[in-house]
Structure 1
């Protein structure tokens, strides 16, 4: 890819999207961020995302797609009355799954990007270390990429730098990009809206913590061997 090209990053202020934001800054000369409100229970993530984008000197866009929560309220991230699944059920998706979320996010991101002459989209989805969400799979992203190009008669490229990385490798990438401390202390990944290390018991926090411990152990072992 050419350094002079621009990219639009789907940005929530969490570990994954923040790592992707700085990955994009490394690979593109101009980067913008788009954040979404979709009826999520805690609005803090929008403020976190806005601050990180400002500190990174990245233009920030906020789009309201809260219609999502009106269409399907059977999700613990948008409905206070639902107790959050701590583990993935054997026969279905966890109730933290918001149907259509990534499809909507990337579609709106593409429309916004097109209006600005931007053809590269970046998203932090991964199928290596996630909760089984169908819209995090590489096959879905490839399919949506084709659909967006056909639907808008344009040539978008969706980049998924975390697709094959587990959480420990995401931590490793943030370290390589020089933003490990920022990601560790200034991001919001927790489903319960607790900054940095989070609540410690929701599925997102457990994934984040396990990945961090695995990476730090691997890093310490590497230094010891050196």
Structure 2
């Protein structure tokens, strides 16, 4: 039973990882969160993660991964690289090795705190082609970590097969829709909540939210129509 076990959430303070944090709080007895400082330009991301963890009463750890920012050239750690995504190429926001290293370091921390469950918000549905968001990679790394550390880790990916609209639905099902919309930071320009509205992350987030809200409103309208009281029965002729 997961309710009797402990989990560590890889946590950035964004929509996906915050949804995963709420999911973990529902599924596990005890939950901690870890945020990685890899030299990202927008320090608000780390501040946001710490604040959310505090509000939810989750023990939070920040790990210094600044070396990763020094090794890679991408738009999230370098202000001289524009955010772009050309056909047939990875977006300039891709950080080489990020999920691989994050999960590996998270595993070391998890073993030390007595947790065998790792939770991450990667997915294949809205992944922009990032190779380290694929299910095959996660399964492979799970086996590698278990062998390397002789520990029965389980990597959970609640969002792996759902798109952004379904991620918003999950947040709503968890009672966290408004919290995630207002307090998380997904924007590549470092703007909280609905963000700048123009960067790729904001566009994807907003499109998913609008799709979900349309579906939710349609379902509510259909339910209301079906529950409407019937009119007076016509008298028999």
- TM-score normalised to the size of structure 1? 0.97
Q: 1:203: which partner in 2? A: 200
Report how many aligned residue pairs link the two structures. 223
Give the structure 2 partner of residue 77 of structure 1.
Answer: 76
Distance 1:220 1:2 in 2: 33
Match of 2:89, SS state, is coil
Distance, in Å, in 2 between the alignment partners of 1:2 and 1:59 is 19
| 1:22 aligned residue | 22
SS at match of 1:3: helix
Deviation at 1:91, TM superposition (A): 2.1
Q: In structure 2, how many angstroms separate the alpha carbons of the residues matched to 1:42 and 1:61?
A: 18
Superposed, which structure 2 residues align to 1:1-226 within 5 Å?
A: 1-72=1-72, 74-85=73-84, 88-226=85-223
How many Å separate the matches in 2 of 1:47 and 1:94?
25
Secondary structure of the residue aligned to 2:91 is coil
Post-superposition Cα deviations, 1:40-88, rounded to whole Å, max 9, x if no partner, equal 001001111111101111000000101011112x201000001111xx3
SS of the equivalent of 1:163 reads coil
Deviations 1:191-217 (A, max 9, x none): 110100001111110100000000000
SS in 1 for 2:190: coil
The runs of 5 or more residues in structure 1 that have no matched partner are none
The higher radius of gyration belongs to: 2
Q: How far, CA to CA, are the matches of 1:163 and 1:197 in structure 2?
A: 23
Stretches of structure 2 that go unaligned for 5 or more consecutive residues are: 224-237
Tell me, in whole angstroms, the C-alpha distance in 2 between the residues paired with 1:23 and 1:139: 22
CA distance in 1, matches of 2:109, 2:136: 23
Q: Measure how far apart 1:132 and its partner are.
A: 1.1
Cα deviation code 1:169-188 (max 9, x no counterpart)? 00000000001000000000
CA separation in 1, counterparts of 2:210 and 2:150?
45
Kindly report structure 1 stretches of 4+ aligned residues shifted beyond 3 Å: none
What SS is found at the alignment partner of 1:223? helix
What is the CA–CA distance in structure 1 between the aligned matches of 2:86 and 2:166, rounded to whole Å?
Answer: 26
**In the aligned structure 2, how far is the partner of 1:2 from the partner of 1:77?**
35
